Amino acid sequence: MSDIPIARRDVILHRLDRGLPVVAADLALEFGVSEAAIRRDLRALAAEGRCRRVYGGALPTSPASAPMVVRVDEARERKQALARVGASLVQPGQLVFLDSGSTNLAVVPCLPAGSGITVATNSIAIAAEVARREDLQLLMVGGFVDRHVGGSVDAAAIAMVSSLNVDHCFMGACAVSSVTGVSAFSMADALFKKALALAGHHTVILATSEKLETRAPYRICAVGEIDHLVVEHDAPDEPVRLLAQCETTVLRAAAPP
């Protein structure tokens, strides 16, 4: 990245670190260089993992861009703190959907014992965890498995989800923004989550701080369509304030032990 002028690099990175997308044409005008030069800059930054390249510019990175098998082992205690809050919203006898995601996986051991809860999921890892608990009923949503997502998000999965009346839907989110809403890195995943939101009476997102005020290419819904957004105990105040203004209930998790 040494071929990128330092001042230009710092401006681009500062905007990305604030969760703002950047547009190559706008940057070219601002710095008086060609769009080709800006595209080279963005490719170099993307190669370092500092942004995600999209047509016409770049987006801030989100931790959810990594495959599910990688994310499962990351920040376990932080995810467990979020999961405890989410599980406290569930009532005995309800049908709960746990969308594929490493934080939703942490919800399974937090669900109350002997409460007659049925867990539906499209996730291989979550289904395996639920199957270990004899007090939980398991409903597996099937179809071809997207290895990156860690579960089924194809037309068959959408058709099955559309036939359900879910009490609490724990939706996985790649990015959550007060401006661009809830979004995903995969179009198929985003379409599945749209169907899931329609099937859920009450929708919950458990979001680690790295996902707040970031963007992913495919929009799922507005933040205001989420009933509860659970954030970490030390989530930055400004993103939380902006998200709370979107007519969703924001809950803070307790600090991990």
Mean predicted confidence (pLDDT) in 184-197: 93
Distance CA 28, CA 129 (A): 50
- In this predicted structure, what is the pLDDT of residue 142? 87
Specify the DSSP class assigned to residue 142: -
Q: At which residue do the structure tokens 């990128």 appear?
A: 4
Phi, psi angle pair for 49, to nearest 5°: 80, 20
In the chain, CATH 1.10.10.10 covers: 6-61
The region, left, alpha or beta by phi > 0 then psi within -120 to 50, assigned to residue 181 is left
In the chain, CATH 3.40.50.1360 covers: 68-252
> Please, which pLDDT band fits residue 2 given cuts at 50, 70 and 90?
very low
Using a cut of 0.85, tell me whether the model's pTM lies above it.
no
- In this predicted structure, what is the pLDDT of residue 73? 56
Residue 4 above 80 pLDDT? no
Distance CA 49, CA 61 (A): 7
Q: How far, CA to CA in Å, does 166 sit from each of 112, 172, 204?
A: 18, 15, 12
Looking at domain 6-61, its CATH class is mainly alpha
Closest by CA to 217, choosing from 54, 5, 44, is: 54
Q: What is the CATH number of domain 68-252?
A: 3.40.50.1360
Averaged pLDDT of the chain: 89
* DSSP per residue, 60-121: ---GGGS-HHHHTTSSHHHHHHHHHHHHTT--TT-EEEE-SSHHHHTTGGGSPTTS--EEEE
Phi, psi angle pair for 65, to nearest 5°: -75, -15
For the chain, the distance separating the N- and C-terminal CA atoms, rounded to the nearest angstrom, is: 40
Specify the DSSP class assigned to residue 201: E
Distance CA 91, CA 56 (A): 46
Q: Which of 34-43, 208-217, 218-227, 246-255 has the lowest mean pLDDT?
A: 208-217
How many CB atoms within 10 Å of residue 87? 21
Residue 1 above 50 pLDDT? no
Mean predicted confidence (pLDDT) in 117-122: 98
